[in-house]
């Protein structure tokens, strides 16, 4: 089963850089696990500055075609049951990817490494796609190895309902496909600590209530995915800090971003920014209402 019932392809933005190659490997495994096809996309008008080719359009198109052919052959060699298609486009990479996000199961992008959410092509391409795509977008770094010992999917859960359901659906779907467990994480603000009489335990009741709220938010998804094991974590601190700590050994971290009605208005929140900068594994950014 796939998030929101989407049966579209797993789309990879590919430019031949190490990060985009790792992203393609990650996308192929995810597609095999979910029984979905992979679409490799290359924009020949949005190539890396370091591309060692002449600037003529024909040379750029030839280079792009070679990048796609090599990766298609490699993925089919790795996964003989995978269906792969390629698309060489002249549209800017960000536009092509956002457009495909309307029908894709997910978009997968390469990013340049810890401490940077520089685009996998040029400028702010990946930020643009992460902020505007209508489907989940997964950012994968060149050094994000697919460690078999990482079998946990971390999902940041703020509250029950529309804000968290798309994240939980994506996280549970990924966990079921991979045979992993879900760690549902909620941060408690430090400001909730209040003065108590000496000898009492601060906010014990509050923390118990928050544990119960977290379990209630996850309950429908536990019922829908009965084979997926779940652990809960409620911790004090900023949402970004709590999520980063919980993700130290995860295979994938799932965060959210609000949908925006204006097509040219987009913004990633501080938690998504922190995860994309610092979490040591692929990060999925899932839009929600």
Report the relative pairing of strands 106-111 and 137-141 from DSSP bridges: parallel
**CA 151 vs CA 147, 156, 167, 182: distances in Å:** 8, 17, 18, 9
Counts for the chain of helices (H) and strands (E), in that order: 8, 10
Q: Are 37 and 85 in contact (CB under 8 A)?
A: yes
pLDDT in tens, the chain (289 residues): 444 456 799 999 998 888 899 999 999 999 999 999 999 999 998 776 556 665 688 888 998 999 999 999 999 999 999 999 999 999 999 999 999 999 999 999 987 654 444 433 333 677 889 988 999 999 998 777 666 667 899 999 987 777 899 999 999 999 999 999 999 999 988 765 554 444 455 556 677 888 899 999 999 999 999 999 999 999 999 999 999 999 988 999 999 998 875 555 557 888 988 888 888 899 999 999 8
Calpha distance 149→11 (Å, rounded): 26
What are 68's two structure tokens?
């796609």
Q: What are phi and psi of 69, to 5 degrees?
A: -65, -45
What are 182's two structure tokens?
């879900």
Calpha distance 180→101 (Å, rounded): 26
* Predicted structure pTM score: 0.87
Calpha distance 144→109 (Å, rounded): 12
What are 139's two structure tokens?
């950012």
* Residue (of 112, 31, 110, 43) closest to 78 by Cα position: 31
What are 270's two structure tokens?
């501080």
What are 1's two structure tokens?
């089963």
């Amino acid at each position: 089963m796939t998030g929101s019932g989407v049966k579209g392809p797993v789309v990879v933005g590919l430019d031949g850089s190490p990060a985009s190659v790792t992203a393609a490997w990650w996308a192929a495994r995810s597609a095999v696990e979910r029984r979905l096809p992979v679409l490799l996309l290359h924009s020949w008008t949005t190539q890396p500055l370091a591309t060692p080719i002449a600037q003529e359009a024909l040379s750029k198109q030839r280079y792009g075609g070679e990048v796609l052919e090599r990766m298609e052959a490699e993925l089919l060699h790795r996964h003989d049951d995978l269906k792969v298609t390629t698309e060489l486009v002249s549209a800017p990479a960000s536009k092509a990817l956002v457009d495909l996000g309307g029908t894709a199961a997910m978009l997968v992008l390469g990013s340049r490494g810890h401490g940077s959410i520089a685009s996998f092509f040029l400028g702010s391409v990946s930020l643009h796609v992460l902020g505007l795509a209508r489907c989940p977008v997964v950012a994968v770094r060149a050094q994000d190895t697919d460690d078999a010992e990482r079998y946990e999917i971390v999902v940041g859960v703020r509250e029950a309902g529309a804000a968290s359901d798309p994240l939980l659906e994506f996280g549970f779907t990924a966990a079921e496909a991979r045979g992993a467990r879900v760690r549902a994480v909620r941060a408690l603000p430090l400001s909730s600590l209040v003065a108590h009489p000496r000898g009492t335990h601060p906010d014990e009741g509050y923390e118990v209530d928050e544990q119960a709220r977290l379990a209630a938010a996850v309950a429908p998804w536990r019922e829908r995915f009965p084979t997926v094991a779940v652990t809960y974590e409620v911790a004090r601190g900023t949402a970004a800090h709590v999520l980063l700590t919980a993700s130290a050994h995860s295979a994938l971290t799932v965060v959210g971003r609000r949908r925006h009605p204006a097509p040219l208005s987009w913004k990633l929140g501080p938690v998504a920014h922190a995860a994309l900068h610092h979490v040591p594994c692929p990060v999925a950014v899932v839009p929600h209402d």
